[in-house]
Amino acid sequence: MSSDGGAGRTADDTTSFVLQPPRPNPDPQPAVVPAQGAGRLIAGRYRLLAKLGHGGMGTVWRAKDEMVDREVAVKEPRIPDHLPEREQANAFERMRREARAAARLDHPAVVGVYDVAVVDGRPWIVMELVHGRSLGGALQEGTLDVREAARIGLQVLGALEAAHAAGVLHRDVKPDNVLLGRYDRVVLTDFGIAQIEGETSLTDTGGFVGSPEYIAPERVLGQRPGPASDLWSLGVVLYTATEGVSPFRRSNTPATLQSVLNAAPAAPAAARGPLAEAINGLLQKDPAHRPTAARVRALLQAAADPPTPEPTQHVRVTAPAARSRRLGRKVWLGVGAAVVAAAAAGYLVLADPFAGPLPDGWAKRTDAELGVTLAVPATYQVGRPDKDATDKTWVSYTDWSGGISIVLDLTRKADDSLNEIKSNAVAQMRADDEKFKNEGDYDLDMAKGARTHPDDDATYRGRQAATNTVAFTTDDSQDPRPREIQIFYYRTKAGDLYRLTVGYPGKGDFTARGREVAKAAIANLDLTKP
């Protein structure tokens, strides 16, 4: 089980435990949240350390196996007491089957199960702790390129082949159940609703179980599923990983299931060649028409390791080709700090004059209390202090994904009783710059050691201003993430300090978009105070 963070579940979620991807927001919370129960000793050997996530059937903890001195993931059954006794028994039996399904599989891409500890008649599953993040979490920041999607698909396919050979159907293959671990490892987890050949089926309250947009058509129709059903789900995962959206997701569960049955997905735009052939084949409505696992493996291998084209002596290059914004697995598992620093240093040095055309789809938003008009994408969500708040010195605009944010804050000289405002914009920028590099910043979840690119030559309306581009890693010990911010500083004649901060992912498809937003937002800033 992954040490990735968990989040609340929705009505469309599976009844089994699902490790939800972290959802970035302007004020993110730690991925691992200490909770009631931490410190408890289970079965005399497993010490609960911190909660990792929860779902419909259980809560997963990071724990210490004190007998062998290693960290593990422990899944605690979480069954409401008001459920009828039969439904509680079914839920416990489903957890036992999850353990049996995973434990009978010997494959590096299947999460390892170490033990089932029974506490007060309830089974606690003890699993390996996979350090990394879910594919669903990675896709929050952008899509995968063809080779990386094929590489991950190959390992998930291997796990499914091992499961099918052992008579186990997973039945809930989706990005949130694919973990990206260390050393390029890919792990398929959550066999909570797996079906094991030869075992009596359990009655599921509410009909089918699984995630609607990944369920194969034959399962929606109530037909007996087979290995081809899991392969369909793999096809949807690959489509989502490369295109950035599930082809069947709709606004509610009934509409989603109807699209699974009847909608023909748009042809993949990013996936091409053998990968596109694999996706199109796996998404055939009739399971008899889907390719075999062996054929899918051959296509994915061809996509993961395409042949090197023969060089030609007659190609004349007249201009450099545009660089693709799609990145490979280093985006998801982290790259060296120098890469981010180089990107930050080479991107943008703002100078006078601050002016620029308003991009298409943008709008101007005026905040009279702050004395500012901001240019922002028209669809961004606005955030302001509560009505009763005494501190009304900021406003924010955030993309619906939560990945990109624009925040304007004002520190008034009249309220600066501690004299924290520096003498000018450059001095303020330099002070913040030293803090970012040597201490980090709690409000930004910034670990120390940020890479900065300060500019003290900027001006605004003929007066001194400053900017800084800061690339850093978040201080989340379980799931550190690359981030980048651009900050504009301006101190008015009256001594008030304005900061305009634009933040976005430091790696991934959103990085280029975030930099475009920062450039336009800063260039079109309009302050009413001189």
By annotation, the residues acting in catalysis are 172
Report yes or no: 236 and 213 within 8 Å, Cβ to Cβ: yes
Neighbours of 416 (CB within 10 A): 13
**Is 493 flagged in the annotation as binding?**
no
Other beta carbons within 10 Å of 391:
9
- In contact, 382 and 394? CB cutoff 8 Å: no
Q: Which residues contact 84 (CB under 8 A, 6 or more apart)?
A: none
53: enclosing H helix or E strand: strand 46-54
- Cα–Cα distances in Å, from 388 out to 368, 384, 385, 391, 407? 18, 11, 8, 9, 20
Q: Facing residues of 350 across strands?
A: none
Q: How far, CA to CA in Å, does 449 sit from each of 132, 135, 337, 341, 439?
A: 22, 27, 10, 11, 7
**118 near 124, Cβ under 8 Å?**
yes
Single-letter amino acid, residue 39? G
> Exposure pattern of 359-382 as b/e (b: 16+ CB <10 Å)?
eeebeebebeebebebbbbeebee
Angle at 132 between CA 131 and CA 136, to 5 degrees: 140
Would you state the structure tokens that stand for residue 228, as one six-digit string? 């081809």
Total residues belonging to the chain:
530
Residue that is written with structure tokens 């075992």 in the block: 199
Instruction: Give the containing element (helix H, strand E) for 278.
Output: helix 273-282
- C-alpha dihedral, 146 to 150 to 152 to 155, nearest 10°: -170
Q: What are phi and psi of 278, to 5 degrees?
A: -65, -45
Q: How far apart are CA 403 and CA 510, in angstroms?
A: 7
Phi-psi region of 190 (alpha: psi -120 to 50; beta: other; left: phi over 0): left
**Residue 387, both tokens:** 């009505």
Nearest Cα to Cα of residue 480 among 447, 438, 452, 449: 447
- Within a 10 A sphere around the Cβ of 356, how many other Cβ atoms? 13
Per DSSP, what are the bridge partners of residue 482?
Answer: 473
Cα 64 from chain centroid?
26
Does residue 398 contact residue 502 with C-beta atoms inside 8 Å?
Answer: no
**Residue ranges of the binding site:** 75
**Residue ranges of the binding site for ATP:** 75
